[in-house]
Structure 1
Amino acid sequence: MNTPADFDTELFNKGLAIRREVLGNAHVDRSLAAVDEFTAPIQKLVTEWCWGEIWGRPGLPRKTRSLMNLSMLAALNRPHEVKLHVRGALNNGVTREEIQEVLMQVAIYCGVPAALDSMRVCVETFREIDAAAAGE
């Protein structure tokens, strides 16, 4: 990992550990390998504050945080982040049925188009996960 020296803080390292546990090493390694002078500040911010500070708080279990993230990202119609957080949610013990229920709730309260786009992303992600598990 070729990251700037200012990444080596207690909060960054805490966030990095949580980020790896939720999203997996492969994703985190790809993100950090792509760090350059322009993207370094956002990677530091996300790792420290999103993962270290917020995901590291004891007030909610990771499964609940994952369900909340999926609902917010679906409502915002952010397919790349939905895809990423579907994988994270599964790692945090969320079931496919629970993800389906989140998207049904999103459809009613945030709009059917956002829910449909997120449903498509989930189906694609499930297929990728199933294919990898089957060794395809």
Structure 2
Amino acid sequence: MSKELFDKGEQVRREVLGEEYVVNSTRNTDAFSEPIREFAIKNLWGDIWSRPGLDRRARSIGVLSILAAQGRTGELKTHIRAALNNGLTREEIGEVFLQSALYCGIPAGSEATRVAKLLFAEMDAK
């Protein structure tokens, strides 16, 4: 089951985060960080993200909200890209952060919006 979960997780991870992200992440993994990477691939991607109860759009909305609330800007940038890969529009992402501002506070929503705005500018420049 462990190998099956890992393989499923790696597939989902590539679809959601994109090939470039996964290749870079794998390249930057060493003996110290391998256990947490493997744990995340199996459990987060192979189990939770693969469950049938929510589609990927809904999961992305949840993740964006949680990361905004926690101020996890590094992960937020990664998951904004993932949300776009999962079919959310930039406008919908903005709405998620507006909703987050109401429930989590203006600083959290504003910071998430700032991260998205910078990422969108970076993407548009390519």
Instruction: Report the TM range for the smaller structure's normalisation.
Output: over 0.9
Q: Which runs of 5+ in 2 are unaligned?
A: none
Question: Following the alignment from structure 1 to structure 2, what is the Cα–Cα distance between the partners of residues 45 and 63?
Answer: 23
Task: Measure how far apart 1:32 and its partner are.
Answer: 0.8
Choose the corresponding residue for 1:126, options 84, 107, 120.
120
Task: Measure how far apart 1:9 and its partner are.
Answer: 1.2
In percent, how many aligned pairs have the same letter? 50
1:66 corresponding residue in structure 2: 60
TM-score scaled by structure 1?
0.89
Divergent runs of 4+, >2 A: none
TM-score scaled by structure 2?
0.96
Matched, 1:49 2:43: yes
Q: How many residues align?
A: 125
Task: Measure how far apart 1:34 and its partner are.
Answer: 1.2
Q: Give 1:106's aligned amino acid.
A: S
Q: Which runs of 5+ in 1 are unaligned?
A: 1-7
Choose the corresponding residue for 2:110, options 102, 110, 116.
116
Deviations 1:28-69 (A, max 9, x none): 111111111110010001111111100000111100100110
CA RMSD, 1 decimal: 1.0
1:1-136 paired onto structure 2 within 5 Å? 9-132=3-126
